[in-house]
């Protein structure tokens, strides 16, 4: 028995550990429930009584030797695995992909920031509107031909027509119905028109409309407000001009152009060689609109203006196709990372 123990001990001592599988095979062979050490202990009963104590001690030493060998190499293999997974700090770092704000979000935030400097607060309202807030309160009676100016997405037609709002002026109606002058607010939001999608038009887009109502508000106040906006948005050298126009809810009404900052008003292909770029519409709030919303038009006056966020973004970033804003092309959006 003693020679057998010595032979097995020599085999354990010379055992090669080169993998986790090899280590497990060692455990099963020498320390398992059916392993060599277990078998030797079961043979102890056949040893003469006078030798049992000595042989038993040798068997205990053999088992301890096998366990120490197993635990040593188990720890060694675990350390090796840890080293394999360790990060090599000497290697070059990897770039992290950083997201970017959408160009329309950047422009909308900038517009809001500019008007907040002169006391305008943000008002929001539902994108699904009834006929009163979207049309009638804004001086669009049922038979008015101006309703044909806006191709509307109707959801329900009947006594109370429900539609996707065609402008954020509906938010201004809600503000006037629930707020006493003075009122100074802007209404950013998404609007919808039933139009064919092209490079210059889309079935949905974004607007920021402004409203100021108080005693003694004049057209001169409107012009100075818009000049302030133009210079904050396009640079201190920007100039504006107003051209007569028509909107059902303002009288008088005007279209506003800003001087082309790309060519310093000398004429280029962007401004079609006129030196001017159209940016928004505006006018004095029609007295009928004030009266419809419960504001005394004999006491108060006001002005309103509205601009397309896409239009401002086009001029600011020189984007030529409206469809790019909603296609989520990562190549297009990556250009605006610096605007975060």
Please report the pLDDT score of residue 97 as a whole number. Answer: 72
Cα–Cα distance between 34 and 27 in angstroms, integer? 11
For residue 286, the 8-state DSSP code is P
Please report the pLDDT score of residue 148 as a whole number. Answer: 66
For 141-283, where are the alpha helices, taking DSSP H only? Answer: 169-178, 219-234
What residue segments make up the domains of the chain, in order of their start? 2-85, 103-339
Chain CA centroid to CA 291, Å: 41
222-257 pLDDT tens trace: 999 999 999 999 989 899 999 999 999 999 999 999
Radius of gyration of the chain (CA): 41
Residue 14: burial class (beta carbons within 10 Å; 0-12, 13-18, 19+): exposed
pTM of the model: 0.68
* Neighbour order of strands in the sheet with 154-156: 128-130, 162-164, 154-156
Q: Which tokens hold the place of 299?
A: 């006491």
Residue range 295-301: average pLDDT? 95
Cα–Cα distance between 28 and 126 in angstroms, integer? 72
Please report the pLDDT score of residue 50 as a whole number. Answer: 75
94-133 pLDDT tens trace: 777 777 789 999 999 999 999 999 999 999 999 999 989 9
Query: Which of 78-82, 157-161, 272-276 tops mean pLDDT?
Result: 272-276
Q: Given a cut of 50, is residue 263 above it in pLDDT?
A: yes
Please report the pLDDT score of residue 340 as a whole number. Answer: 45
133-144 pLDDT tens trace: 988 899 887 777
Q: Are 336 and 318 in contact (CB under 8 A)?
A: no
For residue 138, the 8-state DSSP code is G
Residue range 151-179: average pLDDT? 86
Please report the pLDDT score of residue 176 as a whole number. Answer: 96
The SS3 assignment for 165 reads coil
Number of Cα atoms under 13 Å in the Cβ half of residue 68: 8
Phi, psi (5° rounding) for residue 258?
A: -115, 145
Cα–Cα distance between 133 and 129 in angstroms, integer? 7
Q: Which tokens hold the place of 317?
A: 């970033």
Please report the pLDDT score of residue 86 as a whole number. Answer: 65
**Element containing residue 184 per DSSP (H, E):** strand 183-192
The end-to-end CA distance of the chain, in Å, is 80
Residue 79: burial class (beta carbons within 10 Å; 0-12, 13-18, 19+): exposed
The CATH number of 103-339 is 3.30.930.10
If one compares 268 and 115, the residue with the highest pLDDT of the two is 115
CB atoms within 10 A of CB 306: 23
Please, which pLDDT band fits residue 17 given cuts at 50, 70 and 90? low
């Amino acid at each position: 028995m003693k020679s057998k123990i010595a032979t097995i001990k020599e085999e354990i001592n010379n055992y090669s550990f080169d993998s986790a599988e090899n280590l497990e095979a060692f455990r099963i062979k020498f320390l398992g429930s059916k392993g060599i050490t277990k078998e030797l202990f079961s043979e102890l009963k056949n040893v003469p009584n006078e030798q049992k104590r000595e042989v038993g001690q040798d068997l205990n030493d053999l088992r301890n030797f096998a366990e120490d060998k197993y635990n040593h190499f188990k720890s060694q293999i675990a350390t090796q695995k840890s080293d394999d997974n360790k990060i090599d700090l000497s290697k070059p770092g990897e770039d992290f992909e950083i997201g970017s704000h959408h160009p329309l979000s950047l422009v909308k935030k900038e517009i809001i920031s500019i008007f907040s400097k002169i006391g305008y607060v943000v008002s929001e309202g539902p994108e699904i509107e009834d006929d009163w807030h979207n049309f009638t309160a804004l001086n669009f009676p049922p038979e008015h031909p101006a309703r044909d100016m806006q191709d509307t997405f109707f959801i329900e037609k009947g006594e109370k027509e429900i539609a996707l709002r065609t402008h954020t002026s509906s938010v201004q109606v809600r503000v006037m119905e629930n707020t006493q002058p003075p009122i100074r607010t802007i209404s950013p939001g998404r609007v919808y028109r039933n139009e064919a999608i092209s490079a210059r038009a889309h079935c949905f887009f974004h607007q920021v409309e402004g409203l100021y109502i108080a005693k003694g508000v004049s057209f001169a106040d409107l012009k100075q407000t818009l000049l302030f906006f133009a210079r904050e948005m396009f640079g201190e050298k920007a100039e504006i001009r107003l051209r007569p126009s028509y909107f059902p809810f303002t009288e008088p009404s005007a279209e506003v152009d800003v001087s082309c900052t790309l060519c310093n008003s000398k004429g280029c292909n962007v401004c079609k060689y006129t030196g001017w770029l159209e940016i928004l519409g505006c006018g004095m709030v029609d007295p009928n609109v004030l009266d419809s919303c419960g504001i005394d038009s004999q006491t108060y006056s006001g002005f309103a203006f509205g601009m397309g966020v896409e239009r401002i973004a086009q001029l600011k970033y020189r984007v030529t196709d409206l469809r790019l804003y909603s296609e989520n092309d990562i190549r297009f959006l990556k250009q605006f990372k610096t605007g975060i």
